[in-house]
Amino acid sequence: MGEQVLRKGGQVMGDLKIAKWLNSGIAFLDKDLQLTLHNDLAGSLLDVSAGVGHPLPLRQCLQEDREEYRWLANMVGHRLEYRNAVLTWTMGHGIRHVLIDSYCREGAQGFTGMFVLMKDLGDFSMLEQQMQRTEKLATIGKIAAGIAHEIRNPLTTVRGLLQMLEHRYASQNVIEQREYVQVMLQEIDRVNDLVSELLLLAKPHRMCKVPSSIQQLVEELRPLVESEALLRKIEVRWHLLETPLVWADAGMMKQVVLNLVKNAMEAMEDGGVLTVSLDVDGGTVRLEVADTGPGIPYYQMDKIFDAFFTTKEKGTGLGLPICQRIISEHKGEIRVSSKGFGTTFSILLPKLLPEFAQEENTNCL
C-alpha cells in the first residue's frame, strides 16, 4: 500500500499530510543527496535534527564517515529498492535496529531520488534472533556429537591402513598407486576437518576458561594472519589497545578470531584491507574484524549464523555457528554489520571483575 501511495504520479511526500501520523519515519533523498524529512520520526530514526520539509544536503545532516550516510548514499547511487532491510545503526552510545523500505521516485525527467520508510525495531529483533539461534545450535550440537564419533572412528582405521599402503608403495617405487593413495589421504583429512568442526560445534563445554588477555591472544595470531594476508594481497591494520582481562579459553577464542579473519579474507578475493581492532567500552571488551569486501546482502543476514549456510563452493557453513557457540559460552555477544561496503564482525565480552577472578574454574581439567 505504502509503495503505491508513495509512487503515485511522482507526488512529493509533502502532499502526504498523513506522514506525521504514521508510526514510520519517512524521508526523501534526492539524487544529489539532498535529504528532506517528511515527519519527525524520520529525524529521530536517522538521528538528524533538520526540520520537516526543508531539503538539506545529506552531509550537513550526517557525517560522511557515518555508516548511515554511506548506506543512504549508496542506496541512491545504485537505486537500490529495499524491502524489510534490517539495519543496525549506532546512535550516540546506543544501538538501534531499523526496518527499512526504499522506493525510487521517477519524475518527468526520470529518476529523481528515493523515498525511505523506516520503522524502529528497538532491541527485540536482536533478542529474538539470538534466542532462535541458540536453540537451533543446541539441537544441531546434539545430533552432530552423536554422528561425528561414528564417522571419526572408521575414518581413523581407514587412514591408518592407507598410510601403511602409501609407505609400501613408496618403498616399492610404485608412483601411480602412491599418488592415488595420497589423494585418498587428503580427502580423508578434509572429512576429518569437517568432523572436528562438527565436534567443536557440539562440545564447547570442554572449554577451559581462565583470566585471559585478548590482546595477547590476538598478538599471538599476528604472524599467521599477516603471512596469509601477504599471499592474498591484503593489507592488515591492527588497532590493539590494552584491554582488561576476560574469562576465556584462549584456544577457543583464537578459533573465533581465525574464523572471522578467514571469512574476511575469503570475502576480499581481489585484495583489500583487513582491520582488527580491540578496545574497551565500559565493562565490555570489544574485538572487531572488519573487511573491505562486498558485504553481506541484507536478505542473507539472518542466515549466516545457521549451521551449514554457506555461499562458498568449498564452504562448510560451520565457521560462524562455531563462533556464535563459543562466544555465547563466554557470556559474550557476536554482532555483524554490513552495509554493502565491507563487513564488520564485533565480539563483545564482559570484562573480568576482580572479585570474580577466583571464581570456580569451569570445566578446566
- Is 129 one of the binding residues for ligand ADP (CB under 6 A)? no
CB of 308 to ligand ADP, least distance (A): 9
Give the residue with the Cβ less far from ligand ADP, 212 or 343.
343
- Is 263 one of the binding residues for ligand ADP (CB under 6 A)? yes
Q: CB under 5 to 8 A by kind: which of Mg ion, ligand ADP, none does 267 bind?
A: ligand ADP
Give the residue with the Cβ less far from Mg ion, 118 or 320.
320
CB of 244 to ligand ADP, least distance (A): 27
CB of 188 to Mg ion, least distance (A): 21
- Is 315 one of the binding residues for ligand ADP (CB under 6 A)? yes
- Is 214 one of the binding residues for ligand ADP (CB under 6 A)? no
Q: CB under 5 to 8 A by kind: which of Mg ion, ligand ADP, none does 310 bind?
A: ligand ADP
Give the residue with the Cβ less far from ligand ADP, 243 or 343.
343
Give the residue with the Cβ less far from ligand ADP, 101 or 306.
306
Contacts 24+ apart (CB under 8 A), 149-156: 151/191, 151/195, 152/192, 152/195, 152/199, 155/188, 155/191, 155/192, 155/195
Burial class (CB within 10 angstroms; exposed 0-12, middle 13-18, buried 19+) of 64: exposed
CB of 194 to ligand ADP, least distance (A): 10
CB of 343 to Mg ion, least distance (A): 12
- Is 347 one of the binding residues for ligand ADP (CB under 6 A)? no
CB of 328 to ligand ADP, least distance (A): 15
**Binding-site member from 6, 202, 225, 304 for ligand ADP (CB under 6 A):** 304
- Is 326 one of the binding residues for ligand ADP (CB under 6 A)? no
Q: Is the dihedral of CA 9, 10, 15, 16 positive or negative?
A: positive
Give the residue with the Cβ less far from ligand ADP, 25 or 293.
293
Which window, 118-126, 219-227, 309-317, 351-359, contacts ligand ADP (CB under 6 A)? 309-317
Taking CB under 6 A as the criterion, which residues in 268-297 touch ligand ADP?
291, 293, 296
> H/E/C letters for each residue in the chain?
CHHHHHHHHHCCHHHCHHHHHCCCEEEEEECCCEEEECCHHHHHHHCCCCCECCCEEHHHHCCCCCHHHHHHHHHHHCCCCCCCEEEEEEECCEEEEEEEEEEEEEECCEEEEEEEEEEEEECHHHHHHHHHHHHHHHHHHHHHHHHHHHHHHHHHHHHHHHHHHHHHHHHHCCHHHHHHHHHHHHHHHHHHHHHHHHHHHHCHHHCCCEEECHHHHHHHHHHHHHHHHHHCCEEEEEEECCCCCEEECHHHHHHHHHHHHHHHHHHCCCCEEEEEEEEEECCEEEEEEEECCCCCCHHHCCCCCCCCCCCCCCCCCCHHHHHHHHHHHCCCEEEEEECCCCEEEEEEEEECCHHHCCCCCCCCC
The number of angstroms, rounded, from the C-alpha of 192 to the middle of its chain's C-alpha atoms is: 26
Give the residue with the Cβ less far from ligand ADP, 43 or 319.
319
**Binding-site member from 11, 90, 196, 311 for ligand ADP (CB under 6 A):** 311
CB of 260 to Mg ion, least distance (A): 8
CB of 269 to Mg ion, least distance (A): 14
Give the residue with the Cβ less far from ligand ADP, 182 or 310.
310
- Is 312 one of the binding residues for ligand ADP (CB under 6 A)? yes
Chain residues that interact with ligand ADP, rule: CB under 6 A: 259, 263-264, 267, 291, 293, 296, 304, 309-312, 315-320, 343
